[in-house]
Amino acid sequence: MSHDKPEITPEWVKASEVAAVLGIDSRTVVRMIRRSELNMRALRLDKGYLIHREDWQAELERRRVVPADA
């Protein structure tokens, strides 16, 4: 059984980047994922968490507000 670390690719963004866009702390992002308030895959690494980019983009689209006159 291999204990290799997951490969970090452009498919993953730092929780701190997600937090910056949402205007909250990265620890809050992680808590929200744990409570299923954000439906995102996350990897825990030695120095923080990574969020799957596809999940993050889907969350942004879900939160997008369309103007009433559009």
Is 68 part of a structural domain of the chain? no
For residues 2 and 10, the answer to whether their CB atoms sit within 8 Å is: no
Counting the structural domains of the chain, the total is 1
* 35, part of any domain: yes
Task: Decide if 51 is inside a domain.
Answer: yes
Phi and psi dihedrals of 32, rounded to 5?
Answer: -65, -35
The CA distance from 47 to 67, in Å, is 39
Q: Which domain holds residue 37?
A: 12-63
pLDDT digits (tens, 9 = 90+) for 1-60: 555 655 556 899 999 999 999 899 999 999 999 999 999 999 999 888 999 999 999 988
Name the residue with tokens 């808590």.
31
Q: Is 38 domain-assigned?
A: yes
The pTM score is 0.70
